[in-house]
Amino acid sequence: MAIQRHAKRAGKLYIRIFPDQPFTKKPLETRMGTGKGAVEGWRAQILPGRILYEMEGVEESVAREAFRLAGHKLPVATRFVMRSQQL
């Protein structure tokens, strides 16, 4: 992945999404009816505001650039969010 490659495997990367919804598809040129099609693959529904990845153990500038590079490869609009240091 672009994130790990840019961070040079430093720090820890957490993937916060998991494809847990199956989607089905019927074969081409089949008649209507006869039930639902076979499972074609798995997907994850991503709603606005969902955190996709977390990273720790690297500097902010490295993490920001890594997520910028990865964001160009995703089909959704992304932004960088940082946890505040104050309690």
| Residue spans per domain, the chain | 2-71
Question: In which band, very low, low, confident or very high, does the pLDDT at 85 lie, cut at 50, 70 and 90?
Answer: low
Give the per-residue pLDDT at 26: 92
Asked whether residue 5 carries a pLDDT value surpassing 80, the answer given is no
Give me the mean pLDDT over the 43-71 stretch: 89
C-beta of residue 4 within 8 angstroms of C-beta of residue 13: yes
CATH of domain 2-71: 3.90.1170.10
Measured CA to CA, the distance from residue 61 to residue 20 in angstroms comes to: 33
C-alpha–C-alpha distance, residues 80 and 53, integer Å = 10
User: Residue 86: which pLDDT band, with cuts at 50, 70 and 90?
Assistant: low
When the pLDDT of each residue in the chain is averaged and rounded to a whole number, the result is 87
Coil, helix or strand at residue 41? strand
What would the pLDDT profile of 21-36 be if each residue is shown by its tens digit? Answer: 999 999 888 888 888 9
